[in-house]
Amino acid sequence: MSTVPSELAVETEPKGVLPTGSAPTPARRVIATLRKSPAVVVSVGIIVFIVLLAVLAPVISAITGWGPYEYDPSAIDSDLGGIPIGPLGGISAEHWLGVEPGNGRDILVRVAYGARVSLMIAVSATLITTTFGVVMGMISGFFGGLADQIISRVMDFLMAFPSLIFMIALLSALPAGNRPVLLVLVLSIFGWPYTARVIRGQTMSLRNSEFVEAARASGARPLRIAFREVLPNLRGTIIVLATLAVPSYIGTEAGLSFLGVGVMPPTPSWGQMISTAVGWYAVDPMFFLIPGTFLFLTVFSFTVLGDNLRRVLDAGDAA
Amino acid sequence: MTLVILRRVLAAAGVLLLISLFTFMIFFWLSPDPAVQICGKTCTPERIDQIREQLGVNLPFWQQYWQFLSGIFTGRTYGEGAAAIECAAPCLGFSFQTNESVTDMIVARMPVSVTLAIGAAVLWLLAGIGGGLLSAVKQGTGWDKAVMISALAGISLPNYFVALLLQYLLVVQLRWLPFPQSVTFAEDPLLWFQSYLMPWLVLAFGYAAMYSRIVRTNVIDTLGQNFMRTAKAKGLDAPVVLRRHALRPSLTPVVTLFGMDFAGLLGGALITETVFGLNGVGKLTADSIAKNDQPVIMGVTLLAAALVVVANMVVDVAYTYLDPRVRVKSA
């Protein structure tokens, strides 16, 4: 994260007299607590696995010998309408997770490349919305007044929007272009208020705390107070919000791709693969089960991690 | 009090106006020329101009926007003379692909979406509130864990995936249910019920998961409040304390959410309707996206936005009656 506070700023805060009790829980203690939870360990394991899958997609492609766009007519039965030859959707030594019906593309390689697209979009959107949301939320909460009025109205407006249907309308009207970039933009436009709203609330309560008053009395300038005193105290919240934003963007991207307005073929994406699988689900269930399982595991793991981070950080705050 | 309500209504109208403006702008500037699309392959420049004039897309932006807006209230006529097409108020546009008014298309699909929304809402409220309450009261037990793990699964499983899974298991493998079909209740009550059962379950699962998490957090929060101790000290029965003192304040955020979610579903459950082939507003939207039938996409977007905004407003106004704290704050 871009919000690593300077150690000095954290240490010089008068510990124990914080009215909101929101001293940042030391990262080491948080990690130690999280490591005791089997659910978290498994989730982190799955996330690492998916990230490796995404990063190593070209390597996997080289090892299996199949490209993401490469057809394999020998793996499908053209007499039966193109269903994969062999059990479980054509799982074999040649194609480890089977092939797509109709064209025989390798599912493992496409899932790996799909993970790339999904993670890249979700992580980019998370970075943008977190940065923008934190800045907007802090300006709004710290300075109040007219800036707060304007930012709050814009947030209210964006949040009153039925964003999914609007994203669909927007994406269906936009020309093809660079789909992943468009998706990141659209997700970010509607995503940042959810971060900003929480940050605004917390900044408002921190603004009136004693250590901020102390800093103000010692002559620190507003910007310095905002970045050195308030921001470090928001670290936990920011990490939790960002961790939970990733799965929500992955889910939304997959949904949009499923509906045909997200990532466009031939670029592989999980939502789009499941969408194609709708026509085949009765004869080749593996085609929707495999990408669906990857999608589920990714969203599930990030959510479990985010939930537990929040629990541990909240408990740390209360202590 | 009247002033508060009036302010809310005006704010909602403002939001709706802005939404309509944004939607119109998107389609005005970003989408390809509808005239070219209608004209097809054997097209002459004269013919395109003619169509543009008929559609009114040769006019400047504000004039077109005004025509669109006034069409919603007074209806509008496309073109002139014998070829003119009437679009009665409330006219949300006219689809030249199907030669129907967008309003008529939506109205025809509405019953399916309403049926879907009501059935799912009953299920998810029961499961969501019940599950959340059970989980909060039995905090830390196996019940709590079971509910919370199901809830986590519910929010992590995309509903199209659940839909395919359920359809594969119940219809293809076990043959417990027939393939979902578009029948009305009057035609065949049993088949109607069987056709809606899976869509209801799929929709309800996702929402129930979210609601049970929220209810659990709120009930646990409320149980720790001082007035709970007072209620128990007064010697009230545990179930009464739970129902009258703990549940009521815990459900306030649920009411807000429910208003928005239910209204959102009336505007069409895009994915669920598409996967199950139900001919509702959502499927209309999905089909129009596939055919790039822009007047319809725009009409449905506006309707969905209007439903959510109106629901929000109704919930807000209802609060001023239900929750005295809100009244004090907004007065």
* pLDDT for B93 beyond 90: no
In this complex, is the C-beta atom of A157 within 8 Å of any C-beta atom belonging to chain B? Answer: yes
- Output b/e per residue, A207-243; b: 16+ Cβ within 10 A: bebebbeebeeeeeeeeebbebbbbbbbbbbbbbbbb
Average pLDDT over residues B28-49: 73
pLDDT score, position B80: 66
* CB pair distance less than 8 Å for B161 and A172: no
Which range (A1-5, A97-101, A231-235, B68-72) has the least confidence? Answer: A1-5
Q: Do residues A305 and A43 lie in contact, with contact meaning Cβ atoms separated by under 8 Å?
A: yes
The pTM of this model reads: 0.85
Q: Which of A38, A17, A4, A1 is nearest to A212 (CA)?
A: A17
pLDDT score, position B298: 85
Percent of all residues in chain A with a pLDDT value above 90, rounded to a whole number: 39
* CB pair distance less than 8 Å for B152 and A304: yes
* pLDDT for B127 beyond 90: yes
Q: pLDDT higher for B289 or B56?
A: B289
* CB pair distance less than 8 Å for B301 and A166: yes
* pLDDT for B178 beyond 80: yes
What pLDDT, in 10s, does the model give residues B222-273?
Answer: 888 888 778 878 877 877 777 777 777 778 788 888 988 898 888 888 889 9
Q: How confident is the model at residue A118 (pLDDT cuts 50, 70, 90)?
A: very high
* CB pair distance less than 8 Å for B15 and A260: no
Q: Which of B311, B23, B70 is nearest to A169 (CA)?
A: B23
> Which among B31, B165, B285 has CB closest to A173?
B31
**d(C-alpha B165, C-alpha A83), whole Å:** 19
* pLDDT for A19 beyond 50: no
> Which among B30, B157, B309 has CB closest to A173?
B30
* pLDDT for B89 beyond 80: no
Task: Point out which residues pair with B283 in neighbouring strands.
Answer: none
Q: At what angle do helices A57-64 and A107-143 cross, to 10 degrees?
A: 180
Closest CA of chain A from B30, distance in Å: 6
Structure tokens at B151: 């809830």
What pLDDT, in 10s, does the model give residues A241-259?
Answer: 999 999 999 999 999 999 8
* CB pair distance less than 8 Å for A274 and B164: yes
Count, in order, helices (H) and strands (E) of chain A: 15, 2
Question: Mutating which of A50, A165, A250 best tests the B interface, going by the most B Cβ atoms within 10 A?
Answer: A165
User: Which residues in chain B are contacts of A254 at CB distance < 8 A?
Assistant: 158
Residue window 93-132, chain B: list those with CB within 8 Å of chain A. Answer: none
CB neighbour class for A145 (10 Å; exposed up to 12, middle 13-18, buried from 19): exposed
- ipTM > 0.95, yes or no: no
* CB pair distance less than 8 Å for A299 and B27: no
* pLDDT for A24 beyond 90: no
Q: How confident is the model at residue A27 (pLDDT cuts 50, 70, 90)?
A: confident
> Which among B160, B270, B307 has CB closest to A274?
B160
Q: Which of A265, A281, A282 is nearest to A105 (CA)?
A: A265
CB neighbour class for B132 (10 Å; exposed up to 12, middle 13-18, buried from 19): buried
Residues in Cβ contact with A190 at an 8 Å cutoff, skipping those fewer than 6 apart: A158, A161, A163, A166, A167
In this complex, is the C-beta atom of B212 within 8 Å of any C-beta atom belonging to chain A? Answer: no
A–B interface: beta-carbon pairs under 8 A: 116
Beta-carbon count within 10 A of B55 CB = 20
- The DSSP H or E segment spanning A83 is strand A83-84
Beta-carbon count within 10 A of B52 CB = 18
In this complex, is the C-beta atom of B320 within 8 Å of any C-beta atom belonging to chain A? Answer: no
Q: pLDDT higher for B159 or B179?
A: B159
pLDDT score, position B245: 77
**d(C-alpha B147, C-alpha B209), whole Å:** 9
* CB pair distance less than 8 Å for A300 and B156: yes
Q: Which of A58, A272, A86 is nearest to A95 (CA)?
A: A86
Closest CA of chain A from B237, distance in Å: 31
Q: Which residue of A has its CA nearest to B302?
A: A166
Strand, coil or helix: A103: coil
Average pLDDT over residues A123-150: 93
E strands, chain B, are 76-78, 85-87, 94-95, 100-101
Task: Compute the mean pLDDT over every residue in chain A, rounded to the nearest whole number.
Answer: 84
CA angle (A113, A116, A120) in 5-degree steps: 155
> Which among B155, B160, B312 has CB closest to A160?
B312
* pLDDT for A41 beyond 90: yes
pLDDT score, position B322: 67
Closest CA of chain B from A139, distance in Å: 24
pLDDT score, position B304: 86
